[in-house]
Amino acid sequence: MPLERPDIRDKDTYDRLGAPAGASLAADLAAIQADTETLFQLASKSITLSLAAVPVTETLFTVTGEVEVIVIGYIDVAVTGVNLTLEVGVAGATAGLIALTAVGALLIDLLWVDAAPAVLVAKPATNVIANGADIIHTIRTGAATAGAITYYCWWRALSTDGALAAA
């Protein structure tokens, strides 16, 4: 009896997993389990900005090993401050994930993936983080007086010890 396609709403996931081979239920489950380990997982971290000396860095996500990531910021409360600039990256490349952005652009209900936050953005590029470099948010210049951002990080392990968690 042929196996029928299950009701999976995400066609890309179904195509990636493929149809079960039918050898045995245990073998099919093991194959699906092994393949799903390579799919992206989601972690999130919310931060509230307040007055502090600059530059100030906050760890958003701790990383071990090598991981592939996609990072998006959602502006929950408009960011305010004088001559304030923010960026997201890792040590040594502090604007490597989200470019240095001026405070006037960080308005409520916008998505932040580059220097021009918007309501609709193209899917950001994936980036590979090596050697367990943590993902950080940096206030580069000026001081924040208010604001709140929720960061979403889709990630998947590339090395056997690759992992990511909200800090």
Write out pLDDT tens, residues 20-52.
Answer: 555 666 676 666 666 555 689 999 999 999 877
Q: Where are the domains of the chain?
A: 1-39, 41-166
Token pair of 2 as six digits: 């042929």
Token pair of 148 as six digits: 């709140």
User: What is the domain class of 41-166 according to CATH?
Assistant: mainly beta
Q: What share of the chain is helix, strand, coil (3-state, %, to 5)?
A: 15, 50, 35
Write out pLDDT tens, residues 94-141.
Answer: 999 999 999 999 999 999 999 999 999 988 889 999 999 999 999 999
